[in-house]
Each structure stands twice: as structure tokens, then as C-alpha cells.
Amino acid sequence: MCLAVPGRVLSISEVDGTLMAQVDFGGIRKDVCLEYVPDVASGEYVIVHVGFAIQRLDEASAIETLANFERLGILDQEFGDQTGAER
């Protein structure tokens, strides 16, 4: 249900009293309504669904999540498989 993708806010402006932003999706540019994430700054990332930013993307969290994936299995290798499960 919810095809939403992360994009970087390039510029912010008011159009007809509505907060809008030009958002960059790796080269694709689209105008996005920022009313629901009004405190986001230029250069930050937002999650965009049907032309609306619905949440700020937490970059630190994204990086940490990927780092966790990298670390997966390392403890198991050092200390052996904790659950005793058969692979």
C-alpha cells in the first residue's frame, strides 16, 4: 500500500500559503507538499507518498540499521550459535 520513497529537500517555498519543496530523488525532481513535515530543512531527507512528505527520514537511524546488518552473525561466529538451532 504505500509506495513512498526517500528524497532530499532542495529548496522550500510557499505557494498559495502552502509549504512546498523541490525534492530530489537521486536526480528526479518533484514538487512535494511539506505541510506535514514543516520543520524540515534544506538538505534533509523526507519520505514522500503521492506528492506529500509524510515523515522525516532519520539518517542516523538509517546508517545504524545498515551497520547492524553488517554486524549480524559476527557474535554467533565468535561464541557459537546460541539457540542450538540446526542450520
Q: How far is the CB of 69 from another protein (least distance, A)?
A: 4
Phi and psi torsions of 34, nearest 5°:
-105, 10
Residue 30 within binding range of another protein, rule CB under 8 A: yes
Q: How many residues does the chain have?
A: 87
Sign of CA dihedral 63, 64, 67, 69: negative
Name the residues that contact another protein, by CB under 8 A: 1-8, 16-18, 25-30, 33, 35-38, 45, 47, 49-52, 54-55, 57-59, 61-62, 65-66, 69-70, 72-73, 76, 81, 83, 85-87
